[in-house]
Amino acid sequence: MQNSGIEVLFEGSNLERLLGGLLVTIEISFVSIVIGTVLGVLMGLLRTLNLKPLQAVLRLYLEAFRIIPILVWLYVVHFSFTPLLNIDISGEATSILVFSLWGAAEIGDIVRGALQSMPKHQEESGAALGLSRIQLYRYILIPQAIRRMVPGAINLATRMIKTTSLVVLIGVIEVVKIGQQIIELGVIKAPNASFWVYGFIFILYFAVCFPLSRFSRRVERRWQN
Amino acid sequence: MNLDWEFIAESLPLYGDAMWLTVKLAFWAIVFSLVLGLIFSIVLYYKVRGLSLIIQAYIELSRNTPLLVQLFFLYYGLPKVGLKMSEVTCAIVGLTFLGGSYMTEAFRSGMEAVSKPQVESGLSIGLSRTQLARYVILPQAFAISIPSLGANVIFLLKETSIVGAIALMDLMNVAKDLIGMHYKTAESLLLLVLAYLILVLPLSIVLSWLERKVRYAEFGN
């Protein structure tokens, strides 16, 4: 029997390189989630204030990311920043920028939703006790709201990790790109490599996202009561 | 910024074709995933032994992997084991594989949200399980599911932006080609964004309107 092709995964440093590529994906998502969370919390707090024009702007910002596909955003930033603003940023930087802005929009909405879903009497009881506005947020609203935010935020994280696979299309060297390189190199020796390499990448993504989505479901169930 | 209007006018037909392709792919993917979702959610709701387990495994696989990798596996991987599909078939299969699980979850949570007294009343007036599903659960579940079904429809429409990766001439690919050939970056990207706005925005507005309407359909809660 000829090479079945699965060996290609274990030849030389292929396995290591693929895992390294996955790490790039995870790094981009991780950094974006951190930046997105910080900006998003701020945005969510701003959206609970009753400032009509500000609300309209932030709402528009959120809808822009909901309506236009992320891949289009990646293209727009990737192809227009360099010539228009005369700055050269790498594919990674582009990705982190786009994903952070997207994350900020979505986290902002999660934070707003959680804060607004808080029963009014919580705030009123706090005020009756003589807590200041800041104390109210710090001791009453935020601790309770966080419980309602966590499942949504983890969900967003898995969505982001999955969506990060798109950065290969703007030239970032991540797991899919490395997979393609391995397939191209072995095109004569292991003609069936693409089945195994893409199959393996499929499983890699699953291995990262499945525990996360399980975790978020469990948190959701436990904190619902 | 000065836009080259002549170039824009010349490339409009290309974008038109690509939008048509997007609509076609999204349409079939949405239809197939709705059918898949309806069947699977009924199986899950009635906890059909064995089948439920398989469907659950499928849902987890589909939801926890990116469409891009699913498409690459379908398009480049499967032919190596003898399963060859055209680009269009591949895209529709991939999108259905992804969308089917989201639709299943939407229908199922709708079915589970039908209030218990409704189900009990149905049983007490002697409806069979099929009648119960047909006359009591599904009509209400469908109304309850509309917001999430709508969100999935938009999600699938947006996800079609990835099919360019398997050599289909979709909007992304047209824009990329035009940028590569003519360096008209601003014009190409503007048309790209506009095309998606034309596709998604009306749908999104209709859906949020529908969402407010169907609230009336929730009985007994």
Dump pLDDT digits (tens) for B147-165: 889 999 999 999 999 999 8
The conformation of residue A36, written as its DSSP 8-state character, comes to H
Query: Cα distance from B103 to chain A (closest Cα, Å)?
Result: 17
Cβ within 8 Å, pair B69-A166: no
Query: Cα distance from A138 to chain B (closest Cα, Å)?
Result: 34
A42 burial class (0-12, 13-18, 19+ CB within 10 angstroms)?
A: middle
Cβ within 8 Å, pair A209-B162: no
Size of interface A-B (CB pairs under 8 A): 110
Nearest by CB to A201, from B60, B69, B189: name it: B69
Nearest by CB to B172, from A71, A196, A198: name it: A71
Mean pLDDT of B207-213: 82
- Which of A119-128, A146-155, B128-137, B187-196 has the largest mean confidence? B187-196
The whole-angstrom separation of Cα B154 and Cα B62 is 17
Express each pLDDT in B83-121 by its tens digit: 889 999 999 999 999 999 999 999 999 998 888 888 899
Closest CA to B190 of B205, B170, B174, B202: B174
| CA distance to A46, A138, A184, B64, per residue, from A134 (Å) | 14, 6, 59, 39
Report pLDDT for A140: 87
Nearest by CB to A67, from B66, B165, B200: name it: B200
The whole-angstrom separation of Cα A99 and Cα B149 is 25
Residue A192 sits at the chain B interface (C-beta within 8 Å): yes
What residues of chain A lie within 8 A of the CB of B81, using their CB?
192, 195
pLDDT band for position B133 (cuts 50, 70, 90): confident
In a 3-state reduction of DSSP, which class is residue B3?
Answer: coil
| Residue B42 phi, psi dihedral angles, 5° rounding | -65, -45
Report pLDDT for A123: 84
A83 or B206: which leads in pLDDT: B206
pLDDT band for position B217 (cuts 50, 70, 90): low
Joined together, the tokens standing for residue B49 give 């032994």
Q: Which of B3, B61, B62, B68 to mutate to test the interface with A (most CBs of A within 10 A)?
A: B68
Express each pLDDT in B38-67 by its tens digit: 999 999 988 888 999 999 999 999 999 999
The ranges of chain A with pLDDT < 70 are 1-5, 83, 224-225
Instruction: Give chain B's mean pLDDT.
Output: 90
Cβ within 8 Å, pair A169-B72: no
Report pLDDT for A96: 95
pLDDT band for position B220 (cuts 50, 70, 90): very low
Judge whether residue B170 has pLDDT over 80: yes
On whether ipTM exceeds 0.85, the answer is: yes
Query: Cα distance from A225 to chain B (closest Cα, Å)?
Result: 17
Nearest by CB to A205, from B69, B78, B162: name it: B69
Q: Please check whether residue A160 is in contact with residue A99, taking contact to mean a CB–CB distance below 8 angstroms.
A: yes
Query: Cα distance from B124 to chain A (closest Cα, Å)?
Result: 31
Q: Please check whether residue A192 is in contact with residue A7, taking contact to mean a CB–CB distance below 8 angstroms.
A: no
